[in-house]
Each structure stands twice: as structure tokens, then as C-alpha cells.
Amino acid sequence: MPSVFIKTYGCQMNERDSEQVARDLQDRGHRLVDNERDADVILLNTCSVRDMAEQKAIGKMGMLRKLRREKPKLVLGYMGCMAQRMGDDLGNRSPHVDLVVGTQKFHRVADHVEEAIRRREEAFASEDATELGGSINPIIPIVDIAAEEGSQNTIREHLPTEKKAATSFISIMQGCNMHCTFCIVPTTRGPERGRPILEIVEEARTLAGRGIKEVTLLGQIVNLYGRHEFPKMDGKSPFVQLLEALNAVERLERIRFTSPHPMGFRKDLVECFARLPKLMEHVHLPLQSGSDRILKAMHRPYTAASFRKLVAELRAARPGIAVSTDIIVGFPGETEEDYRATRDLAEEIGFDGAFVFRYSKRGDTPAAVMDGQLSEEVKEFRNQDLLAVVNASASRHLEACVGTRQQILCEGPSRNDPSRLAGRTRTNKIVIFEGGSRFHGQIFDVAITSASASTLYGDPSILGEGSETLGKR
């Protein structure tokens, strides 16, 4: 059967979608490969959050055109958010592609790939091979970007896990109804749609049975899960009901979720951090701006004061909880005073980590046509200045761990140094340490011996049985 290479751009949800597509193709006998030159089919799963992500994917597809000259039967395709947004226009931008599949049709990709393979085989048999491999593509691409009811329930199968794999994503919903003025996600992912709780819990049980110790729940605004489909029960939101159900799954040890919205943190969810032991002490809480004026322009329905209060409530519910964030600098109309408010709030809160983005104009969003678009030079200066602030607070949090004992889940070899192992604390900090394969997929304590700008270093060998973890549990 043909071999397939999938390259993924963007967020964890895109990674999860790619895994679903890979599993579907594998189930049909297709072979997954790690090198595009070994592939008969190359799929790019795309992102539209920023223009740079789209340009990378389009540029990559342009480079693959050269490979087509060597392999005229090669099938090339776009999937995901950019495919959804651009549709037929993407086929015009990249006339050599064979398929363009949107965000609600990942479960149809295997069908479309096999149809594209069939078309190229037939065309190759009847057309000049040079024409097929060169600048002309006589094959009309398959374009499938139509909405499909129930598509949120199709992202549920997983690739077979490697031996002692420790973590997995679970997609619990698709879409977003918030319509932030800078964001294209409602266009590319559609409205909010949640999966049934029982189906998600069963997926978690299956993963736990395969040895998965930690799951991360995924959604565009994950803590608003189910608010339109499922009722509150005993004053608890559907998302809290889901967390409680997952907390009861045997052999599942850790639960995380991303990305939430500040407005989704009601009292019932905050209290989960105080009473659900499997819910990890880490919240990724997008701030976006510390200026009330800019937050209003962004259509973010909270203020700097309410965000500050929420962080205080979370820290009171689970002392030692880590808080990371997303911040956009250079939003249209952002003055120096607005930026200073963001910088001051970031310093005050002292985030454990942050993704700082320069505002990127996206077509089909209100912010793209707002007055007061800032220069790239101003955005870059503010980006670097704010990065220095959040990196300093992140370093302080890491340094505070030195000399403590932290519980980690070993995820396997370190990405940057395969001779050593990497684990993650309950507060989502990476720990590098020496050790053998017996540690893979295990939860245990390490003594933190040092810290770099972004990483902790530990030693599990000096811990005796029954040692008390002094750090965040």
C-alpha cells in the first residue's frame, strides 16, 4: 500500500487531528513514514492563526513541487484550518495539489487520499509523465470544506502507542462562538460542538488500559465545553462534570486541559483545583492584554481587575499552582499606555510561562480593518520587551524549585539529548535527568538539583523510599 507522510503546523488540536488521519490511513493498510522523500502521499495539516503559519505551509507545498518532478505519481494535499479558510482559492495558489480538506472532514481524508491516488494512476497511464510531474497538473483537485454535523465526534481513535508511552491528547469539542476580533478560529473551525461525556470517558479508559497515565483535554475554548448541548447538574457545568468523571477513571493519574477562556472559570471549576487530585496544578490562562480598552476592542469580556482576581482565586484554591498565558502585543490602536498596562500586569502576576505574539492581521476578522494598525518595528520592540519580563518570572519559578523534590511523569528520552530522560512536573515544568528505560511512563519523585532558563534538572537516584515531596504535588 502507498506510504504517507504528514506534516503538522500549529496547535495541539492540529496534532490530534493529524493523529486521527494517520490512524484512519493506517487502518486501511497505508504505511506511515518519517521522511517525505519516502512517501507516496504527502499531507500538510495547516494553521491559520497567524499569516506566517500559512506562508510556511504554502512555501512548503511549493518546495514539494520539485519532488513531484521526480515522482510524478506523488499525491499532495492540504488539510486543516488554512484549507478550510481558502478552499478552492488554495488550489489556485498551489495548482499542483490533489486535495484540499477542511476541519470538519478529517474523517473523510482517507477516502479522498485513495481517490486522489486513483486519479493520478489513471492520469499517469494516459498522460505524459513529464506533464504530470512538471508545472501542469491536469487533475482537478478534490476540495471538501463543507460543514458536517457531528464532525466533533469523529476525532476519537488514536495511533497505537509506543511501549510505555505516557501521555495522550483527547479532543472533547470543536469550534468557537466567542468571535474575538483578532481571531479566525470561528471561521476555520465553526461553532462550538461538544462530544458526549460518556464517549470521552470511555476514550480515556481505553487509553489508560494501554498504559497512558496523563491526558490533555483539547478544545478551542475547552472550559466552555458542552454549554449548549448538555445541562448543568447540581450547579456544575458540563466541563466540571467531565473532569469529575475522568478523575474517577482507574489507572489514569493526571488530567490537564487547554486552552480555556477566563470567562469559563466559574466557582465550580476553580474549586476543582482544590478537590480533584488528578487535576494538575497548572492553568494556561490567556490574558491577551492588560489594558481594559484593548480587551474591549478585542471582544474579550473581562477586565484586567477580573483577570487578576481569577488568578488569585486559583492560587488560593491550589497553592503553588502554575499559571501560564498568551499575550498579543501591537493590537490595532494599542498605545504606549496600553502596552505599559499589559507589561505591568505581567510583572505583577509573575507568570510561569507565556507565549507572546505580535499582532498578525488576519483576513475576515474585524481587527484587520481597524484603524491604528501599528508598524512591525513597534510590535517587535514590545514583543522583545515583554518576553524579557515573562522570561524573568519564569526563571524565578524554576529557580524556586531547586532544592525541592518534585513528582514527575517520565515521558521518555529528552528531545534535545536522547541520552537523557525527560519528565514533567505537576506544574508542567520539564525536568531532565539521567536514567534507564525502566523510568519510561512512570510517576516518581526527583530531587531538583539545578535550573536553566527554561528547564529543571533532577536526580531520582538520591531519593529514598517514603521520601516526602517538598515541591508541588
Domains of the chain: 3-144 (3.40.50.12160), 151-398 (3.80.30.20), 402-459 (2.40.50.140)
**Cβ-based neighbour number of residue 35 at 10 Å:** 8
Mean pLDDT of 59-88: 93
- Distance linking the first and last C-alpha atoms of the chain: 48
Is residue 473 scored above 70 in pLDDT?
Answer: no
Is residue 136 scored above 60 in pLDDT?
Answer: no
Q: Which residue has the higher pLDDT, 437 or 344?
A: 344
Cβ atoms of 3 and 40 closer than 8 Å: yes
The distance from CA 139 to its chain's CA centroid, rounded to whole angstroms, is 34
Return d(Cα 38, Cα 49) in angstroms, integer.
Answer: 30
What pLDDT is recorded for position 467? 38
Q: What is the mean pLDDT of the chain?
A: 92
Q: Which amino acid is at 424?
A: R
Is residue 162 scored above 60 in pLDDT?
Answer: no
Is residue 225 scored above 80 in pLDDT?
Answer: yes
Best mean pLDDT range from 45-54, 154-163, 296-305 = 296-305
Q: C-alpha cell of 131?
A: 506533464
Look at residues 356, 366, 371, 359 and name the one whose alpha carbon lies nearest to residue 187. Answer: 366
What pLDDT is recorded for position 226? 94
C-alpha dist (Å) from residue 17 to 20, 23, 151, 328:
5, 10, 12, 26
Best mean pLDDT range from 69-73, 135-139, 266-270, 432-436 = 266-270
Cβ atoms of 103 and 190 closer than 8 Å: yes
DSSP string computed for 257-306: EE---GGG--HHHHHHHHH-TTB-SEEE---B-S-HHHHHHHT----HHH
With a pLDDT cut of 70, the percent of the chain lying above it is 93
Residue 69: partners with Cβ closer than 8 Å, 6 or more residues away:
133, 134
What pLDDT is recorded for position 158? 84
Cβ atoms of 261 and 224 closer than 8 Å: yes
* Of the listed ranges 161-170, 271-280, 322-331, 366-375, the one predicted with least confidence: 161-170
Q: C-alpha cell of 323?
A: 499559571
Mean pLDDT of 279-307: 98
Is residue 469 scored above 60 in pLDDT?
Answer: no
pTM for this one?
Answer: 0.90
Mean pLDDT of 415-439: 93
Cβ atoms of 212 and 165 closer than 8 Å: yes
Mean pLDDT of 409-419: 92
Label the pairing between strands 167-171 and 142-144.
unpaired
The radius of gyration computed from the CA coordinates of the chain, to the nearest angstrom, equals 23
- What pairs with residue 5 in β-bridges? 42
- Using 50, 70 and 90 to split pLDDT, how confident is the model at 48? very high
Mean pLDDT of 286-308: 98
Q: Is 428 left (phi over 0), alpha (psi -120 to 50) or beta?
A: left
What pLDDT is recorded for position 161? 59
